Structure 1
Amino acid sequence: MELFRIPMRGSVLLWAILTQLLLCRNGVFAGNGTKACKLQDESASQRKVLERLEPLAGKNFSVTVKEEKENYRYVFQLCGDAGGVQKAGVIQQTDSQAKPTIVGSYTSTKAIGGSDWVMLIYHNGDNYDSHCNNEARKAIIMISCNKNKEGDLEVILEDRDRQSDCFYLFELDSSAVCPPVQSQLSAGSIILIIGFCLVAVYLIGGFLYQRLIVGAKGMEQFPNYAFWVEVGNLSADGCDFVCRSKNREEAPAYRGVTADALDEEPEERDDHLLPM
């Protein structure tokens, strides 16, 4: 029995490896994200726009549109197989159709982006039966910034009443295309905040040290109390010297008489008291 267990284990391992390789080939296990999209005109700018949508990769977004005779269900996936249909970026399904219709393929992609929006275009869908000169279908997905609402796919219109260049227009709200929030604080504001934090740490830490370690009471709990009192006294003296003015003496009313002469007191004479 031991001789048969080893080949069986090897066969199971071989089947597991083959299954993973098959999944990687079909794009289910690859995990390439936006790199799986093939651009019609490869450029760094379009590739950068696709990289902004990386958080949406691998997710299916669906919406159902009810009409009089039929219900149409649309499935969109960014750079992946929508609804499991290989190479389909957007598909259309109905109850009466056994096979879904490919509206657009991510193997023929075009990406245009702005500050808070991205327009994704999937070309090379299935051909129309009796519209648009039987040209290939095309899907346009307008992804707009919305920080409060995520992942709601909407069908705006299907423009097929023309001779060429028909398209399906979809709209999707996502925070992935929102611009990064920049700090509104200036350098001066940051310095003030740091300064206030340092002052708060100094006051609270000094108060706790004076009260718990030194055992101070009353105003002496204030850190470096003697130093700040001296600073206050010096500041008051400086303010008194600079800002306050003393009363000036009035000038004498008569000419020829100085203020010094008026201030002199008459010298008392006591010579007449001496014996002759």
Structure 2
Amino acid sequence: MKVNHQGGGPFLLWTLVVQLVLCGSGVYATDGTKKCKLLTESVSEREVLNRLEPLAHKNFTAVTKNGSESYTYVFQLCGDAAGIPGAGVVQLDSGKTKSDPTVIGLYTATQAIGGSDWVMLIYRDGDKYDAHCSKETRKAIIMISCDRRITSDQMKVVLEDRQRTQDCFYLLELDSSAVCPPLESHISTGSIILIIGFCLLAVYLMGGFLYQRLIVGAKGMEQFPNYTFWVEVGNLTADGCDFVCRSRNREEAPAYSGLATEPLEEEPEERDDYLLPM
């Protein structure tokens, strides 16, 4: 086999390298989650992120009020929340028209932990605290739980825990059907057999009807496929049911074949009027 060394060789080499890289990774990032960068790249965390694909490219908001203070929180999965590059969760001061947004967490520093019907997403490396938590960077924890009943995903802010020296966090909750496990089919084997049987019967009736009407030219009940056969089957079934299920008395066979089965006619009474004296 002759190999073209004028350009085919490098192309084949790069193709082989790409395939080896893809095979080595095992799990690939989907279009909606490929912007998220995990702090420690792992197959399990990437699988958890891929489960959240239906939530991609959406902004989720929640509003909190504490006295005169009002804040709006915006979350986006692996995207720029409120249009701020790199921000996964931001906080906006609703009471101030020209306040700078506070970045709570970046999607370029992501952790993902998942269970059967929940996913915990952690965004780190947000803006630093001014005076709390030893002036460490902010962190957002988004708890996404399964809820099949809701029609639109709803987010709420549970708390901002900053009354500690370190490891402070914002906790947000999001109810969604995206993390719900697939429903298992409960159709039994008997049900499957019945469904297949009904389908075959429908095909038989429709095909036979069209054949009898269009090809044979039958009219009326003769359009029914194999009409004569099914009429005979019906008659035999009716006779069998009548023989087995009827409770009427049947004429019993005589004990001796020499005896007649017809009832004996009553002989006329002999009149002895002629013996009386006149």
- TM-score higher than 0.5 here? yes
Match of 2:118 in 1: 117
The 5 A counterparts of 1:159-198 are 159-198=161-200
Query: Matched residues, percent identical?
Result: 66
What 5-or-longer segments of structure 2 have no aligned partner? Answer: 1-29, 260-278
- Deviations 1:146-178 (Å, cap 9, x if unpaired)? 343323221111111222221111111222212
What 5-or-longer segments of structure 1 have no aligned partner? Answer: 1-30, 251-258, 264-276
Match of 2:40 in 1: 41
- CA–CA distance in 2 between the matches of 1:129 and 1:208? 82
- Deviations 1:204-224 (Å, cap 9, x if unpaired)? 443455456655566544321
Contact 1:149 1:173 in 2 (8 A): no
Q: Structure 1 counterpart of 2:180, which letter?
A: C
- DSSP-derived class of the 1:35 partner: coil
**Structure 2-normalised TM-score?**
0.68
Match of 1:144 in 2: 145
- Deviations 1:53-101 (Å, cap 9, x if unpaired)? 1222222222222222322111111112212222211111111763211
How much does 1:132 deviate? 1.9
Match of 1:153 in 2: 155
- DSSP-derived class of the 1:33 partner: coil
How much does 1:235 deviate? 5.9
Match of 1:60 in 2: 59
Match of 1:27 in 2: none
Instruction: Give yes or no for the alignment of 1:83 onto 2:85.
Output: no
How much does 1:236 deviate? 7.0
- DSSP-derived class of the 1:55 partner: helix
> Could you say if the C-alpha distance between residues 223 and 96 of structure 1 is closer, same or farther in structure 2, counting changes exceeding 3 Å?
closer
The structure whose residues are more often helix, as a share, is 1
- DSSP-derived class of the 1:48 partner: helix
- CA–CA distance in 2 between the matches of 1:117 and 1:135? 28
- CA–CA distance in 1 between the matches of 2:238 and 2:98? 93
Contact 1:60 1:82 in 2 (8 A): yes
- CA–CA distance in 2 between the matches of 1:247 and 1:81? 96
- DSSP-derived class of the 2:34 partner: helix
- CA–CA distance in 1 between the matches of 2:223 and 2:147? 53
* 2:204 aligned to which of 202, 205, 209: 202
Match of 1:255 in 2: none
- CA–CA distance in 1 between the matches of 2:97 and 2:238? 94
- CA–CA distance in 2 between the matches of 1:197 and 1:149? 35
Q: Structure 2 counterpart of 1:130, which letter?
A: A
**Structure 1-normalised TM-score?**
0.68
How much does 1:225 deviate? 2.2
Q: Structure 2 counterpart of 1:142, which letter?
A: M
Match of 2:14 in 1: none
- Deviations 1:171-219 (Å, cap 9, x if unpaired)? 1122221222333323432221121122123234434554566555665
- CA–CA distance in 2 between the matches of 1:47 and 1:139? 19
Q: Structure 1 counterpart of 2:153, which letter?
A: G
Match of 1:128 in 2: 129
Contact 1:74 1:91 in 2 (8 A): yes
Match of 2:102 in 1: 101
- CA–CA distance in 2 between the matches of 1:72 and 1:156? 13
Moved more, 42-51 or 131-140: 131-140
